[in-house]
A and B are shown apart, each in its own frame.
Chain A
Amino acid sequence: MASSLDVAAVRHVARLARLKITDAEAAMFAAQLSKVLEYVEQLNEVDTRNVPPTAHTLPVSNVFREDIVRSSWTPDQALHNAPDRHDGFFRVPKVLDQESS
């Protein structure tokens, strides 16, 4: 485990998480997250060889239902909270630029 995060590493993680952060935030998070990572280092004391992981505690895996058509939302209902919409769609800035499309 690498038990500290510098500002560059924080910026990299923020980019992965799609979070815009200020320089002040990057510095603050670097210090705070390093402390937390240092704390979680203690897990290395635990011998986990041959221990299976537990992602959730219930003895169920896949739960299926009948594959039948049911009623669902109208486009209007689905768009109810949309910050921007156009003709029954969510509108966003152009995803691909002209040349690559």
Chain B
Amino acid sequence: MTSQDSVLGISTAVRRGDTSAEEVVGGSIDRIEALQGRYHAFLHHDRERALSLARKIDQRRAHGETIGPLSGVPMAVKDNTCTTFGATTCGSRILKSFHSRYDAHVIEQLESAGAVVIGKTNLDEFAMGSSTENSAYFTTLNPWDPRRVAGGSSGGSCAAVAARIVPAALGSDTGGSIRQPAAFCGVVGLKPSYGRVSRYGLVAFGSSLDQIGPIATDVRDVALLLSVIAGRDERDSTSVDRPVPDYLACLDRPVKGLRIGMSEEYFGEGLDREVREAVQAAISLMAAEGAEVVPIHLPHMKYGIACYYLVATAEASSNLARFDGVRYGHRTPRPNDILDLYESSRGEGFGPEVKRRIMLGTYALSSGYYDAYYLKALKVRTLIKKDFDEAFERVDVIASPVAPTTAFRVGEKSSYPLAMYLSDIYTISANLAGICAISIPCGFDAQGLPIGLQLMGPAFGEETLLAIAHQYELRTDWHTRTPEVALSGR
């Protein structure tokens, strides 16, 4: 990969006039079209709109106007993010022809910084899944091995970056949906702290867990993108009013003296040997650079999945009640009455995983079960968060694997919902606790599949988190390796 393929490289070149936004954006769209049949990363894209935005950037530059820090950078966005161009399908049949009347906050932020959103990427329906196999349209394949999944639910965004179709993308992360596909695809993915980025225009799944975050090929690009999308937006009352630092300027903080927490709960049964070794090697490398490795204990982490699948489904059952066939989305053709309109529109429009989660959440909230399931889960959530609060009094970041294995085969887990849920075991707690976490490449298994290192930091601790991730990256070359396809087709 050349520096021209990174966000920073492209925006620098466009601002200097070494290349044009039109040329870069056009090249990216050509690549979508050339590779769509192989990886199915995109649900739709808009060539004309993208080229017209790119030309405007070139004209503004030619007229001597100041252009933004992402000028000419082609970007892909997960299709659960509202855009006024094209549809916003959420990977669902129920929203097949839904056209948003407004842009999400993050779209406004990206495009006012000069980025050009060229297309919308595939996902598990309503972001519910870990492989994109729950998309109503198709499964995104892994650019490192097309027999394997790209991960999920932001699999389309991560595959698009891994195949170097775009230098960067946005995903959303409710229980690991940015970090797990980033690990499977060998790219960098950040789940910001809850409240760091406005969720305005993100179609809600679990409102207390959802967070939008950047995906790119290195930590510098992720830091730059976070600086652009973070911050208070009054249209999301959970976006926090605190200053947005220049995250790029924070990256040079040295590793020496930083305390890295290591918890045995993240290295137990079920963890693949090669993944364990790669993650341990990464921690050893940071220790050799002067970081202090501190053993910590997170006793409630093992309850994360059970807690999550009650909290997230309860929130989802409430959020997805809005898809009733009345105001937007699919409506059954000949309803007998209003009840049949609701039930048939939803029955026809939602896929099996979404139905499962709506029912689980409805059950957990239903009369007679609320205390035993939902309220119990909220109390366990308090204990999970408390474990992290106590750990972060002693350490700056916590290191762990992202997922127990590398990318699994298409079809391997799709018939076993619980097995699929268990693959989220290392990522889910960060969402329950509201903390920030990043996935960065830290090796490959014997089959040549990428392995991800997860670093977790306290809420609003992105500066240190990104700095340590960047310092690791400076000392390794995992993130510079690309699947063969990345080098072809230019």
Contact = CB atoms under 8 A, between A and B. Distances in A.
Interface of A: 1-2, 5, 10, 13-21, 25, 28-29, 32-33, 35-36, 39-40, 42-46, 48, 51-58, 60, 63, 65, 73, 77, 80-84, 90, 92-95
- Interface SS of chain A: loop
Nearest to B323: A18
A17 B317 contact: yes
Contacts of A60: 237-238, 240
A63 B377 CA distance: 26
B478 interface: no
B99 A81 contact: yes
Contacts of A35: 417-418
Given A48-B376, A60-B238, A63-B237, A19 B355 contact: yes
Interface residues of B, number: 71
Nearest to A57: B434
Contacts of B372: 1
Given A36-B309, A81-B328, A56 B341 contact: no
Nearest to B306: A40
Given A1-B372, A36-B417, A56-B194, A94 B337 contact: yes
Contact of A19 (B337, B338, B341, B346): B346
A60 B434 CA distance: 13
Nearest to B343: A20
Given A10-B359, A35-B418, A90-B326, A20 B433 contact: no
Contact of B417 (A18, A32, A53): A32
A89 B423 CA distance: 46
Nearest to A53: B378
A95 to B, nearest CB: 5
B329 interface: yes
Contacts of B380: 43, 46, 48
B97 to A, nearest CB: 8
Interface stretch (B134-142, B197-205, B360-368): B360-368
A2 to B, nearest CB: 8
Given A19-B358, A48-B383, A81 B98 contact: yes
B303 interface: yes
A81 B327 contact: yes
Q: Which of A16, A17, A44 has the most CB of B within 10 A?
A: A17
A59 B342 CA distance: 37
Contact of B379 (A19, A39, A48, A93): A48
